[in-house]
Amino acid sequence: MDNGLITIAAPMILVHSLFLVTNPITKEVLDCLTNCSDIIRWSATIIRLNNDLGTSSDEMKRGDVPKSIQCYMNEKGGSEEDARKHINFMIKETWKLINSTTQRDNSLFSETFIGCAVNSARASHSIYQHGDGHGIQNSHIKNRIFQLFFDPITISIP
């Protein structure tokens, strides 16, 4: 998990977003990146695990390294289905941690930045819901991206 959290690149993305949404940047806020960055860790955990659920089958076929699913199967000797259930359980447990921290957060991160971390984790559920949401170019995924960026949402005001 320690390695997977880094290689999913979520901490790198969130550190960039911290600078975009925090003004002024104080030394204390930067210290929080190293000594109170639970929210970054939890967000990265969810993004990593959703990515593994969505992309590992194709990646393994291409000869990629084992993901959380294969690691779990190797450690516990269970089926892929058991492993996927466990990964979903881990995602849910991590959401519980996030849900409690947004209610009583003791870091110096702004609500805006915490929102970035929470929304990135939310987005990963959508991106990897039907497989590799940016690596595969099927019509389902293309439609979803089109709808997101180009199709206006009609809001009717009573």
Ligand X SMILES: *[C@@H]1O[C@H](CO)[C@@H](O)[C@H](O)[C@H]1NC(C)=O
Instruction: List Cα–Cα distances, 104 to 40, 107, 108, 109, 146, in angstroms.
Output: 16, 9, 12, 12, 37
**Min separation Cβ 12 and ligand X, Å:** 21
Instruction: List Cα–Cα distances, 113 to 77, 105, 157, in angstroms.
Output: 40, 12, 31
Q: Which of residues 34-63 bind ligand X (CB under 6 A)?
A: 35-36
Contact by Cβ (8 Å): 87, 45: no
For residue 134, state whether it binds ligand X (rule: CB under 6 A): no
Helices (H), 104-138: 111-127
Stretch that binds ligand X, among 30-38, 43-51, 66-74, 130-138 (CB under 6 A): 30-38
Q: Which of residues 86-115 bind ligand X (CB under 6 A)?
A: 92, 95-96, 99
- What six digits make up the tokens of 95? 């959401």
Among 7, 26, 31, 145, binds ligand X (CB under 6 A): 31
Closer by beta carbon to ligand X, 36 or else 71: 36
Residue type, 53: L
Among 1, 15, 28, 64, binds ligand X (CB under 6 A): 28
Closer by beta carbon to ligand X, 31 or else 81: 31
Closer by beta carbon to ligand X, 114 or else 141: 114
How many chain residues interact with ligand X (CB under 6 A)? Answer: 8
- What six digits make up the tokens of 88? 């979903």
Closer by beta carbon to ligand X, 9 or else 25: 25
Which residue's structure tokens are 């957060």? 105
Dist. CA 10–CA 14, nearest whole Å? 6
Query: Which residues of this protein are in contact with ligand X, per CB under 6 A?
Result: 28, 31, 35-36, 92, 95-96, 99
